[in-house]
Amino acid sequence: MALVRLTPICLLTYLCCFGALTSSVLGAKARHFKWEVKYMYGAPDCLENVVMGINDQFPGPTIKARAGDTVVVHLTNKLHTEGVVIHWHGIRQLGTPWADGTASISQCAINPEETFVYRFKVDKAGTYFYHGHYGMQRSAGLYGLLIVDVEEGKKEPFQYDGEFNLLLSDWWHKGVHEQELDLSVKPMRWIGEPQSLLINGRGQYNCTLASAHNSNGSGLPGCKFRGTERCAPNILHVMPNKTYRLRVASTTALASLNLAIGNHKMLMVEADGNYLEPFWVNDFDIYSGETYSVLIRTDQNPTDNYWISVGVRGRQPATPQALAILHYQSTTASKLPTLAPPVTPRWNDYNHSKSFSNQIRALAGSPTPPVINHRRIFLLNTQNRIDGYTKWAINNVSLSLPPTPYLGAIKHGLRNAFDQKSPPDTFEKTYDITRPPSNPNSTYGNGVYMLKFNSYIDVILQNANALNANVSEIHPWHLHGHDFWVLGYGEGMFSTKDEGMFNLKNPPLRNTAVVFPYGWTALRFVADNPGVWAFHCHIEPHLHMGMGVVFAEGVHLVGNIPNEALSCGLTGKMLMNKTYH
C-alpha cells in the first residue's frame, strides 16, 4: 500500500520499516572517480557563458553510492590560474577531516595541474551534494549531486516506485571574478538578483515556457524548443498511479526558493540525510545548503501534464520562476500543462515559511539531543564596515581566513598561523537588533572556537538589522562535520525564558538551518568529530564578505594528515624543512 495515502496502517508500516540510521560495513565498496575541473562554455539559461565544469559536464557528475561505501575522487585542477577544492556537503568526514574540502580550514587549495585525492566514507543514506569551497566558485557552477542509498539488505522507511533528482541553483550573466571584485571594492557594488533559476543546470532566460498562462504582464515571449537544447526544460517522465521520490537539493548562491507541483501534494520524508516524521505540503521552502526528499503520488488526470515551479523567497524577486514538466506517459511529452504554474508565495510571507519550518520533526526512533549543554555560544549576524568596506560579521568579527589551514596548524602546534585569541562567545545584550548598528565599524579576525571534545554545544543564531534601515535578511547556516538538532525558532532577541520553547523530544537533525529576519534559531550538537570545521552562512556573497566562524575539537586525535593537504603556508614550510634537513 502506498505510503502517500497515509492511512493509519500505512503510517504504522512506515514506522516499522524504519531501520538503523548508521550503516554497517558489510558489502561496502570503494567507488572511484577521476575528475578534471575546468572552465568551459555552456548555456545554462540559453545564453552562452563561461561555466565551471567537471569532465566537461555542468552540473558536475552525480555520485551514487551506498551507505558504508568509500568514495575516492582523484581531482585534477585544470583551471590554469586559480586553486580549487571540493566540499562534500553533508558528509561528516568521520576520521577524514582533511577531506572536507574547505580551503584554509581543512586543506590547502589544489594548485593548477595538481591532483588531490579525496577519500572518505559515506556513512549515512540520504540526499547530499558537493560544491566548490574556494573563492566563489560555487557561483561559477562548480557543484553536483551526491546520492547515498541504504546499504544492501536494508530498507528505507518508505516505499516508492521510482525517483528523480532536482538540483536547484541560481545563475548570473556576470562572471564570478567580477562578482568577487564587486563585493570587495569600496564602496561595494552589489551583484544584484540572479538572471535565472536553474533546475538540474537548465533555465530559460528572457522567455517563458508558460506563455499560454502569461497574465502577469511580464511580456516575455514564449520559449520554443526542439527538446535537444542544453537549456531545454527538464521533463520528469512518470506513470500514472505510482509513487515517486523527488530528491531536491539547493546549491543556490543567493536565492531562497519555494517548490510546488501543479495539483500534486508532497509528503516530506527526509531532510539533510535524516528521516522525518512525514507530513503533507502543497509547496515548501528550501534554503541554500538544504536537501529534502518528498514523495508524490501520480493520481491526477493522466491526459494532462503538470508544471513543477520554483520561485524566489526571502528577497524581493527580480528573477522569473524556473519551470520543469511532470509528464504523465499516458500522454505526449510535448503537450504543455493546461493548468497555470503554481504561484510562489509572496517573497516576504515569513509566516508561511515559519509554519513549514515548525512542522519539521524527526522520525520516531531518531537520535534525541542531550537535555543539557556544556557551552552556549551566541552568534550575532550583522552587516558592518571595515575601513569603508562593506562586510558581514559575527559578534563584530568578520572572518578572514589565514594562508595556513587550521587543521594542520593546530595539529602541528603552529601558533603563529592564526589569532590565538578565542572569538567572543556572546555580544552586548543591549544591542538593538531592530536598528542599523549604532557603531557600524567591525574588525577582521581568524580566531577559532576551541570546543571541548565530546561536549554538548548550543549555538544561538541571532539575526539583526543590516546597514540599511528596516532590512534583515534570511541566513541559512551550514555546519561542517556534524549534524545538529534544531531546537527551535523565535522572534526578536533571544532570552533565557525562550528555553521553554525548545523541542527536546523530536527536533530534526540537520546540517543547515535558517535564521529568519529579526529572529533567532537555537541549535545543539555534540563536539565528537575530531577536526576543524567551518560554520557559516551558505549564501555565497555573505561568506565571501566574512559571515562565518571556525570550530575545532579533538584535533590531537586526528590521524596523519596527507602532505598534499598541508603544502601551503607555514605547514608547507614545515614540510620543506623536514625534506631538506
Q: For position 468, what pLDDT does the model report? A: 81
- Retrieve residue 406's grid coordinates: 587550521
- Which stretches of the chain score pLDDT less than 50? 1-24, 217, 581
* 8-152 and 164-359 agree in CATH topology: yes
Closest CA to 346 of 309, 311, 306, 310: 311
- Note whether 204 and 218 are within 8 A (CB): no
pLDDT of residue 25: 52
Tell me whether strands 484-491 and 519-526 are parallel, antiparallel or unpaired.
antiparallel
pTM of the predicted model as reported, rounded to 2 decimal places: 0.94
Contacts of 356 (CB under 8 A, 6+ apart): 281, 284, 285
pLDDT of residue 5: 36
In the prediction, which pLDDT does 389 show? 95
Taking alpha carbons only, the member of 116, 143, 117, 145 closest to residue 129 is 145
CATH fold of the domain at 8-152: Immunoglobulin-like (2.60.40)
Q: What is the pLDDT of residue 228?
A: 85
Under DSSP, the state recorded for 557 is G
What are the domain boundaries of the chain? 8-152, 164-359, 375-576
Backbone torsions φ then ψ of 274, nearest 5 degrees: -130, 140
- How far apart CA 295 and CA 156 sit, in angstroms, is 13
CATH of domain 164-359: 2.60.40.420
| Separation between Cα atoms, residue 549 and residue 543, nearest integer Å | 10
* Residue 244: partners with Cβ closer than 8 Å, 6 or more residues away: 160, 161, 162, 163, 164, 236, 238, 295, 296, 298
CATH class in words for 375-576: mainly beta
